[in-house]
Homo-oligomer: A and B are copies of this chain.
Amino acid sequence: MTSNQKDAQERFFAVIPAGGIGSRLWPLSRASAPKFLHDLTGNGQTLLQDTWDRLLPLAKDRIMVVTGDIHAEAVQHQLPKLDDSHVILEPSPRDSTAAIALAAAVLEKREPGVIIGSFAADHVILDQSKFEAAIREGVEVAAAGKIVTIGLRPTEPSVAFGYIRKGSKLSATACEVIEFVEKPDIALARQYVESEEYLWNAGMFIAPAKLLLDVLAKTQPGLHAGVIELAENWDSDKRDEVMKRVWPTLTKIAIDYSVAEPAAREGMVAVVPGEFEWHDVGDFAAIAELQSHGRKGHLAVLGSARVLSASSSGILVSDTGRLVALIGLDDVIVVDTGDALLVTSKEHAQRVKSLVESLRESGHSELL
């Protein structure tokens, strides 16, 4: 029996690309301590630890983390059971294709026939059993020769996510993917939701590593050649030399564009609907919503803040231990860190990103 013939679930290997600063969560999230290294749910675990725990029942110790080399220590500290051989450290960020394709190539070389699943390190998923069911189904569909994406049933016409247009059924739950569409405007988002043909793209996908690499070989041959050369030398003493030479040459491109969309056009992508609650906690307003569970007038508190609040709602995040007094503020966002303080409102939560950009432009990189 070759590994290709092994049970699909046994061939599954989870990959966690742990990158991205999460600049909408500044000043909590920094280049040096990005979103996934923080506890944004108040459950005492970071988003990365939550992601690990969520994948453990599906993948056991078969979990690989791809992260920036400056986060190596923090990741090892937060995930003490993570095997050294399951860590890929990026000397510099080169977008999601390089990260995931290198993981795919290294794993395929070690274990031909491996089925990888890619799961962002900084999402919140609330129903573990439904998550596991969706992933197991996705692995089966992937094993049949598909790139599988997990699609979430829209609960509202969000303009914050890309959408997946589903086609004919492939199984009891899985469907073909007709196309991926970019973040729509609100009118289009309403049409998508009403049509019931569209699902939110949560950026999770599952595929045989070889299939993913084969698609990449056609769409980005140079990038493909680079990750293959890296994988060939990964488990040898040449790794550092090849990494130093090849990594900086890899094309920066999101895997959506290099693999998912081209493969969808070839009819190679399937979607499995996820029935679980999913949050990308992209900004402080989203965290406040998540923390407040729909309670109106609730003030969510994250971190070590001592709070004295009168007639205030929204969210307070603090890691300074200072007393924070809030009076008469609705939907406020206060983020109190050692060297920077942010005060805004839920309405303006998305604008934090442009503020961070203006900080960068004005040379305050020590605060980013």
Contacts and interface: CB of A to CB of B under 8 A. Distances in A.
Interface stretch (A80-88, A261-269, A320-328): A320-328
Interface in A93-117: none
B328 A364 contact: no
Interface stretch (A47-55, A62-70, A195-203, A346-354): A346-354
Interface string A317-356: 0000011111111001010101111111101100110110
A310 interface: yes
Nearest to A347: B328
Contacts of A310: 351, 354-355
B329 A364 contact: no
Interface centre among A325, A332, A339, A354 (most CB of B within 10 A): A325
A148 B253 CA distance: 80
Contacts of A355: 308, 310, 325, 327
Contacts of A332: 343
A79 interface: no
A208 interface: no
Nearest to A26: B325
Contacts of A327: 342-345, 348, 351-352, 355
A170 interface: no
Contacts of A308: 355, 358-359
A151 interface: no
A341 B325 contact: yes
27 contacts: A311-B348, A322-B338, A322-B339, A322-B340, A322-B341, A323-B339, A323-B340, A323-B341, A324-B340, A324-B341, A324-B343, A325-B342, A325-B344, A325-B352, A325-B355, A326-B342, A327-B342, A327-B345, A327-B348, A328-B345, A328-B347, A329-B343, A329-B344, A332-B343, A334-B341, A334-B343, A336-B341
State the 7 A-B residue pairs at the shortest beta-carbon distance, nearest first: A328-B348, A327-B344, A323-B340, A327-B348, A325-B342, A324-B341, A327-B351
Interface of A: 27, 308, 310-311, 322-329, 332, 334, 336, 338-345, 347-348, 351-352, 354-355, 358-359, 364, 367
